[in-house]
Structure 1
C-alpha cells in the first residue's frame, strides 16, 4: 500500500485537532452546570487536551490510510478504529479528478478524487499526493479503465459470435434420404435470426469505430503505452473575457449576502455615505420618505454592481486557461486560476448535448456547449459540464453537429394559441404585482401605486419572446428541443439515450387542446433542473412525437447492438 504525501499528516492533525478541541470544552460546559466541582476555569486545560488528542488521531489516520493500483481494481483503505477497505473496479470508474488550490500548487501537491458511474458522492479522495503522483494515478487509472472496457467488449463480441454459431447450428438442414420434394422452399430472414439471437444492447458497453488513420494506439497491447492527448479546444483570452462579462453566476449573490451578514453596520454606513450626494439621508435615524427612497435606489445599484463584478471575477478565475482534449474515448479538461481542476468526461456516459446562450451572447453571436452525463462529477453542475464555455455561434453549432452527427435542425414552433396562453399568464402576474402595490399603498404612506401598472407594457413582448424561442425537431437519430429566452437551451438528445417520454396536460392545456412532452434521460441534471420539455404543442403532434421517439429508440438500440457504436464522436473538431 502506498501512503499519502507526508504533509497530509500535518493537515489531518490540524483538521482533527481543531474538531476535537471543542469536545472537552462542551463537556466542561455541560458538567459545570451539573456538578459544582467542575468549573469553567478548566477551559484552558480542556481545550489543549482535546486538540492534542485530535492531532494524534489525525496522524494515526494518515498512517492507517493507504492506496494501491492493482491489475483489476483501485484499492483504498482507511480508518483508525473502524477500518474501511474499498476495491473500485476499473469498469465502474467514471472520472479521476485532480484539484489543486493555490496553497497546493505552491507546494506541488494535489487532491485526487475517484468517481464511479451513478454515484452521488466521491468514491475515494486522496488528500494529498504529489503533483507527479496525481498525474501518474490519473493516467494509470484511465489506461486500465480503457483496458477493462476493451476486455468487456471482446467478451461481448465472443458471446454474440457464439450465439450466431448456435443459431446456425440449430437451423434446419436437409438430411440425406429425408428430403421432401413436395415441401415449399423456406427462405431464412437473416436479420430476423440476428435479432432473435443477438445479445441485448448495453448502453454502457459500447465501442467507438473511427478511421484507422485517426485511431489511437491499441490500449493494452503494451502495458507501458498511454494514449496520447489530442487537443480539441482552447478558450482564448478574448473569449474568456466575453464569457466572464456576458454570464452571471448565482454564487455571487450568496457571496454578497454572506459579506453583508458579516459586516452589516459598515455596509449600511457606506450606503448612507454614497447616497448623500444624491439627496440621501444624513443617517439612518433621520430622513424623510424621499431621502430613504434615494438611499434604497443607490443601495440597490451598488449591490447589483458588486454582485456582477463578483460574478465576473468568479467566472474568470473558474474558466481561466480552459482546455478541452481527448484521451482515447474520453474528453479531458483543465481549467482554473486560483484552484486548478483536471478531469474527464467519458463519452459513453454522455446523455445529451446542450447549446446555451443569453440575449447578450446572441447579440454578439456567441454561445456555449455543455454535455450532460449519466453520473456524478465533483466539479459538474449536477451532471452538466462545460465542453466549450464560449465560442462563436457558428463554431459551437458545428461542434454540436460533428459531435453528435445530428443534421441541421429545422425547428417546428408551437401553435399560435400557445402565445395567447403566455399573454394571459403574464397578464395575471402583472395584475398580481399591481394588487400588491395597491395593498402597500392602502396600509402604508406609499402613494402613486397606479404607476406600477406600467408592468403591463412588458406583457406582450414577454409572451412573444417566450413563444418565438420555443421549438423542436424530430430527426432520424436525434430529438432536438429548444426553449428559454434569458438562458436559451438547444438540447440534442440521441434516441438511444431516452429513458422516458411522457405527455403532460394541465387543466388549461386540456381546454386549449395542447400538451407538453417531457423527455427524460439518465442525466443527473434532472435532479436539479426540470427535464427537457417540448412545451405547448398540439395534442396530436405530441402523441406523434411520443410514438416516433419510442419507435426510433428501439431501432437505435438494435443498430447500436449490431455495430457496437458509441454513438458519439470524440474527435469533433
Structure 2
C-alpha cells in the first residue's frame, strides 16, 4: 500500500507566512471600518489584534500543510486537503491531459517546483502542489505520464461518450448533386507505440542529456522574431491596471511628453488644439509601451523553448524568469492549429499550436504552443506530418459573402461618422466630416476578410481557415468532433448562407472561438455537416476495432 506524501517542508513556511499576512491585515481592515465609519472603538486596537490575527493565520497555514496529502495509486492520483472542510479528489489517469511543472526564480534557487495536473473537465487546474522538491516534481511528472500511457489509448470514447453522435441543426440526407465529397477511409496511424515499460528507477528525461528526443528548439533569431512580431492584448490590460492605481504619476508623464509638441502645461489649462495633441501623444505612448511590454513578456515566456518526444508524449520546457516544463500525451491532442499575423506572413513565418481538453496555467484554454515560430513552409509540413492530413485544397465562400462583409463594415463606418457628428454638437470639435475617411478602408477590409476564409473536407480530417489579424488554420480529425452545427443569422437566411461550427473538447476558450466555416452556401453547409457526421461514426468504429491506433504522430518533424 502506498504511503501518502506531504508537500515540501518549505511550503509550510510559505503557507504559514501567507496565512499570517492575511490574518494580520484583516483586523486592521475591520478596525478601520469600525472606528472610521461607525465610530466604534479606536484605531489603536489594530496594533493589539494584528499579532493575534497573524498567529491564527499562521497556525491555520501550518495545519493546512499537515492536512494536505497526495498519493499515486494504481488507477488514480489522489489529493486530500482542507482543515475545517475536508476535500478528497481521485483523478483517474485516463482523464489527465497535462502535467506541468512551474518554477519561479526563488523556487529554482531552492530547488522547489509547483506541479499542476490538468484534466479534460472544468475551467481550473484539477490539482496544484505548491511546493514539492524538484526531484519529486520530476518523479510525479514521469510516473503520471507512464501510468497514463499504461491505460491505453483513452482517445477512444468510453462510457457516455461512446455513443455520442455529432449533431446538426439542419438534418440532411445527402450531398449536393454534381459535387460529391470523398468517401471516408481509415485514419492514418501515427508513430509506433513503444512496448517498453518504464521503471521507477528511470530518471526524468532531460533535454540536456539527450532525452527525450529533441523535436524542435527555438533559436535565438526565431525567439527575437517571435517577440517583435507578436502583440499580446494582455499587455494593454496590464497598463490600464497600472494607470488606475498610479493615475497621477501617469498623467504627469503624459503631460511632460506632450509639452514639446504643443500639449497643455497643466491638465486643467489648455486649448482644444493642445488637448488634441495630448490625446494623440497619449495614444502613441500607450501603443509604444504596450508593444514594449508585449515584446519583453513574450521573450521571457518563450526563452529556451524546446519540444521533445518521450515515448508517446510531447514534452516541453520554456521560460526565463519562471520556468515551465510539461508533458502532452499525443492521444490527448484534440486538434492542431497553424497561426500567423500580417507581419509574420510578410516574412513567411508561422506558429503551430496543439489543443487538448485540459486547462492550466499560461494556456489558452487547453492550447499549447508546439512551435512558437518557424518558417511557414516548415510549420505546414509539421502540421501535415503531425496529423497525417493530406495537403488541403481550400474552398472559398461564394462572392456573395464578400458583399456581405462590405455592407457590414460600411454600417460600422457610418456609425463612426455619426458619433463624430454627435461629438461635434457637444464639443469644440470641427470638421467632423473628416471621419468619413474610414469608408476608404471598408473595401480592403471586406476583401481581406474574404480571401482568408476557406475550408477543406478531407478523407480523415476537416481543415478550417479563418481570420486576418491572426489567421488560424485548424486541422480536426473526424473522431475528435463533438458537435457540428449549421448556424444562420437573420441576414444569412435572407442571402441563403450558413456558417458551420465544429466543436471539439478544446474548441471554446476565452481566447479562441470554435473553428467555424463562415458564410458558405446553405446546400454546401448541409453537405459538410452531413459528411462530417457520417465520417465521425466511421472513424469511431475503426478506432474501437483497433485500440492501438494513434491519431497524432509524435515524430512529426
Q: State the 1:80 CA deviation.
A: 2.7
Structure 2's unaligned 5+ residue stretches are 159-186, 206-210
Higher relative contact order (CA 8 A, sep 6+): 2
> Partners in 1 of 2:241 and 2:315 — Cα distance?
34
Match of 1:196 in 2: none
Q: Which residue of 2 is the match for residue 4 of structure 1?
A: 7
| Deviation (angstroms), 1:60 | 2.1
Q: How many residues align?
A: 518
Q: 1:19 aligns with which of 4, 19, 22?
A: 22
Q: Does 1:436 align with 2:419?
A: yes
8 Å Cα contact 1:376/1:524 also seen in 2: no
Partner Cα distance (1:209, 1:367) in 2: 23
- The answer to whether structure 1 residue 570 and structure 2 residue 554 are counterparts is yes
Aligned pairs for 1:15-414 (under 5 A) are 15-25=18-28, 28=31, 38-149=41-152, 210-211=191-192, 216-219=194-197, 224=201, 229-414=212-397
Distance 1:381 1:568 in 2: 20
Say which SS state the counterpart of residue 459 (structure 2) adopts. coil
From the superposition, tell whether residues 235 and 292 of structure 1 become closer, same or farther in structure 2 (CA, over 3 Å): same
Superposed CA deviations along residues 82-121 of structure 1, whole A, max 9, x for unmatched, are 3333333323322221111111112111111222332432
CA offsets 1:529-549 (integer angstroms, 9 cap, x no match): 321111111111111112111
The answer as to whether partners of 2:97 and 2:356 remain within 8 angstroms in 1 is no
Per the TM alignment, residue 217 of structure 1 is displaced from its structure 2 partner at its CA by: 5.0
223 and 106 in structure 1: CA distance in 2 versus 1, 3 angstrom threshold:
closer
Q: Secondary structure at the match of 2:435?
A: helix
Helix, strand or coil for the counterpart of 2:241?
Answer: helix
**TM-score, normalised to structure 2's length?**
0.88
> 2: distance between equivalents of 1:264 and 1:40?
29
Q: Indicate the residue corresponding to 1:160 in structure 2.
A: none
Tell me: CA distance 1:118–1:253, structure 2 relative to 1, closer, same or farther (3 Å).
same
Render the CA deviation track for 1:426-457: whole Å, top value 9, x for unaligned: 11111111111111112221101111111111
* Largest Rg, 1 or 2: 1
Q: CA deviation at 1:336?
A: 0.8
Give the conservation status (yes or no) of the 8 Å contact 1:473–1:480. Answer: yes
Return the alpha-carbon distance in structure 2 between the equivalents of residues 36 and 280 of structure 1. Answer: 47
CA deviation vs aligned residue, 1:136-171 (integer Å, no higher than 9, x gap): 221122122222338x899x9xxxxxxxxxxxxxxx
Q: Judging changes above 3 Å, is the alpha-carbon distance between structure 1 residues 81 and 511 closer, same or farther for their aligned structure 2 residues?
A: closer
The structure with more helix, counted as a fraction of residues: 1
Inter-CA distance 296–528: structure 2 relative to 1 (3 Å threshold): closer
CA distance in 2, matches of 1:474, 1:551: 12
In structure 2, how many angstroms separate the alpha carbons of the residues matched to 1:484 and 1:396? 18
Change (3 A) 1:514 1:79: closer
Give secondary structure in 1 for the equivalent of 2:278: helix
Query: Is 1:529 aligned with 2:512?
Result: yes
Q: CA RMSD in A?
A: 2.5
Cα distance in 2, alignment partners of residues 377 and 96 from structure 1: 9
> Aligned-pair distance for 1:377?
2.7
CA gap 1:29/1:308 in 2 versus in 1, 3 angstroms: closer
Counterpart Cα distance in 2 of 1:33 and 1:63: 39
Structure 1's 43 and 362: CA in aligned 2 closer, same or farther, altered over 3 A?
same
1:375–1:524 CA contact under 8 A, matched in 2: no
The Cα offsets for residues 157-207 of structure 1, whole Å up to 9 and x where unpaired, read as xxxxxxxxxxxxxxxxxxxxxxxxxxxxxxxxxxxxxxxxxxxxxxxxx99
| Alpha-carbon contact 1:479-1:493 (below 8 Å) kept | yes
Instruction: Name the CA shift for 1:439/1:42 in 2 (closer, same or farther; >3 Å).
Output: same
Aligned to 1:544: 527
Q: Is 1:493 equivalent to 2:471 in the alignment?
A: no
Contact 2:305 2:319 in 1 (8 A): yes
Tell whether the 8 Å contact from 1:73 to 1:90 is kept in structure 2 after alignment: yes
Distance 1:89 1:423, change over 3 A: closer
Cα distance change of structure 1 residues 23 and 259 upon mapping to structure 2, 3 Å threshold = closer
TM (norm. structure 1) is 0.85
Indicate if the aligned counterparts of 2:20 and 2:56 stay in contact, CA closer than 8 A.
yes
The 1:552–1:70 alpha-carbon spacing in structure 2 relative to 1, beyond 3 Å, is closer
Match for residue 191 of structure 1? none
**Greater CA deviation, 258-267 or 67-76?**
67-76
2:523 alignment partner, SS class: helix
Residue deviations 1:336-395 (CA, integer Å, cap 9, x gap) = 111111112222221111111000000000001111212223331111111111110000
Does structure 2 conserve the Cα–Cα contact (< 8 Å) formed by 1:373 and 1:524? no
User: Structure 1 residues 561 and 130, CA, compared in 2 at 3 Å: closer, same or farther?
Assistant: same
Q: Would you say 1:464 and 2:442 are equivalent positions?
A: no
